């Protein structure tokens, strides 16, 4: 080859046309945060893509070494802020394994309900951004309308809209107020109706169909090899959901389906999230019916000190598999090291496989359906 390719690009040159390079980001409205992508273009088609991370690398894992375990729960909010309440649970389960603390039934119900509310809120942001990136700004207004209702509930329970910092080993910070269950009931009644509007708006829209069917296909083999998880993996035909595979909390008590689609294209990744909202509503409906009105909401408080060892927990957030790995080298309040495995990192690593041969406008669609959160990648 006569000239050197920029770092990261690997493919052999095939065509005789002149190739050029485009830089997308770090400030770009459709990269969903500070992510930089460099594209190698042949005319209008993408030959290869190299992601550049680190524009929002905040050194959380280094900070965690000088923090106590409880302080780290607050940092986990800021990793994936769309599913902050779920990240809290991921960290807390790892701590509970070390402390050997259980949670009473009412506490577990509170956990599951907030998890599912958080999942719906995150998928609604996806719905809005997906529509917005395809040119339908109205979707953003739609998605955020119901999301505000969820935020009202979260604020009522946790005291904060976004960065919740709510769960603690053995339960949670507070009990839910008496108004919580009626509110969730009202929300469910409203949401089940509204979902029909949502689907009518995008699912059969000709622009959405044309721009997402057959675009950005991720094969089953690639999805597994790159370590994708969550809706992206399930849209490629793999039936893997941590809530089913290793049911944490009390997910084994509920009757819900794990939706699986088999094409692995953008439209399937959209449909699977809509289907997951329906499943979340189903779980919430069962929670509201069975919610224990009496009984303790947390177990006896214990100082958060972990014995020497390594503790691992994994949960299914709205984006996928969120794993926490805690290393305690001395018995005490501070970790030796905490490592987080976020779901978005492998998705962006697999992005190169999906975009090859597509146009730049398709890249925007594919990015939207991966639903990445960049601070969770960079940490």
Of 213, 182, 217, which is closest to residue 288 (Cα–Cα)? Answer: 182
Using the minimum distance from each CB to other proteins, give the nearer residue, 106 or 358. Answer: 106
Query: Which of the 8 DSSP states describes residue 64?
Result: H
Of 376, 321, 368, which is closest to residue 80 (Cα–Cα)? Answer: 376
72 binds other proteins (CB under 8 A): no
Rg (CA), the chain: 21
First to last CA, the chain: 37
Residue-level length of the chain:
379
Residue from the set 5, 19, 41, 61 that interacts with other proteins by CB under 8 A: 61
Residues 85-144 contacting other proteins, CB under 8 A = 96-97, 100-104, 125, 140-141, 144
Residues 204-263 contacting other proteins, CB under 8 A = 224-227, 238, 240, 245-248, 252
Using the minimum distance from each CB to other proteins, give the nearer residue, 56 or 195. Answer: 56
Q: How far is the CB of 60 from other proteins (least distance, A)?
A: 8
Using the minimum distance from each CB to other proteins, give the nearer residue, 208 or 326. Answer: 326
Q: What is the total count of residues that contact other proteins (CB under 8 A)?
A: 85
Alpha-carbon distance of 278 to 308, in angstroms, equals 42
Residue from the set 24, 49, 73, 75 that interacts with other proteins by CB under 8 A: 75
Phi, psi angles (nearest 5°) of residue 39:
-115, 140
Residue from the set 265, 268, 314, 371 that interacts with other proteins by CB under 8 A: 314
Residue from the set 136, 170, 231, 320 that interacts with other proteins by CB under 8 A: 170
Alpha-carbon distance of 78 to 83, in angstroms, equals 9
Contact indicator for 211, 321 with CB cutoff of 8 Å: no
Residue from the set 7, 196, 289, 294 that interacts with other proteins by CB under 8 A: 7
Contacts of 73 (CB under 8 A, 6+ apart): 88, 91, 92, 165, 167, 168
The residue range among 5-13, 111-119, 207-215, 254-262 that interacts with other proteins, by the rule CB under 8 A, is 5-13
Q: How far is the CB of 69 from other proteins (least distance, A)?
A: 15
* Helix H or strand E segment including 36: strand 36-42
Q: How far is the CB of 209 from other proteins (least distance, A)?
A: 26
Question: Where does residue 318 rank: exposed (0-12), middle (13-18), buried (19+ CB within 10 A)?
Answer: buried
Using the minimum distance from each CB to other proteins, give the nearer residue, 70 or 327. Answer: 327
29 binds other proteins (CB under 8 A): yes
């Amino acid at each position: 080859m006569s000239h050197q390719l920029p770092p990261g690009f690997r493919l052999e040159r095939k065509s005789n046309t002149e190739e050029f390079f485009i830089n997308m980001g770090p400030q770009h409205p459709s990269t969903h945060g500070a992510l930089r992508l460099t594209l190698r273009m042949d005319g209008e088609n993408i030959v290869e893509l190299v992601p550049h991370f680190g524009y929002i690398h905040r050194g959380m894992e280094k900070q965690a070494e000088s923090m106590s375990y409880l302080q780290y729960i607050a940092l986990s909010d800021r990793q994936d802020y769309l599913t902050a309440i779920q990240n809290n649970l991921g960290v807390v389960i790892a701590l509970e394994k070390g402390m050997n603390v259980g949670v009473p039934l009412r506490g577990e119900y509170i956990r599951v309900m907030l998890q599912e509310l958080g999942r719906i809120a995150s998928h609604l942001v996806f719905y809005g951004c997906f529509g917005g990136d395809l040119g339908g700004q109205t979707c953003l207004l739609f998605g955020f309308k119901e999301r505000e209702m969820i935020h009202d509930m979260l604020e009522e329970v946790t005291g904060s809209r976004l960065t919740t910092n709510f769960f603690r080993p053995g339960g949670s910070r507070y009990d839910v107020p008496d108004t919580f269950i009626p509110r969730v009931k009202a929300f469910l009644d409203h949401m089940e109706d509204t979902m029909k509007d949502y689907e009518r708006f995008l699912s059969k829209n000709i622009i959405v169909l044309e721009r997402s069917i057959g675009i950005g296909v991720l094969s089953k083999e690639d999805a597994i090899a790159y370590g994708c998880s969550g809706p992206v993996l399930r849209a490629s035909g793999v039936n893997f959901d941590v809530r089913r595979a290793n049911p944490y909390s009390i997910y084994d008590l509920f009757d819900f389906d794990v939706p699986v689609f088999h094409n692995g294209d953008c439209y399937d990744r959209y449909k699977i999230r809509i289907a997951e909202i329906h499943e979340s509503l189903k779980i919430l409906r069962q929670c509201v019916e069975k919610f224990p009105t009496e009984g303790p909401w947390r177990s006896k408080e214990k100082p958060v000190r972990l014995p020497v060892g390594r503790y691992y927990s994994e949960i299914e957030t709205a984006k996928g598999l969120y794993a926490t790995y805690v290393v305690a080298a001395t018995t005490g309040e501070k970790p030796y090291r905490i490592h987080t495995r976020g779901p978005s990192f492998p998705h962006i690593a697999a992005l190169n496989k999906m975009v090859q041969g597509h146009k730049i406008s398709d890249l925007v669609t594919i990015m939207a359906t991966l639903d990445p959160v960049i601070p969770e990648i960079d940490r």
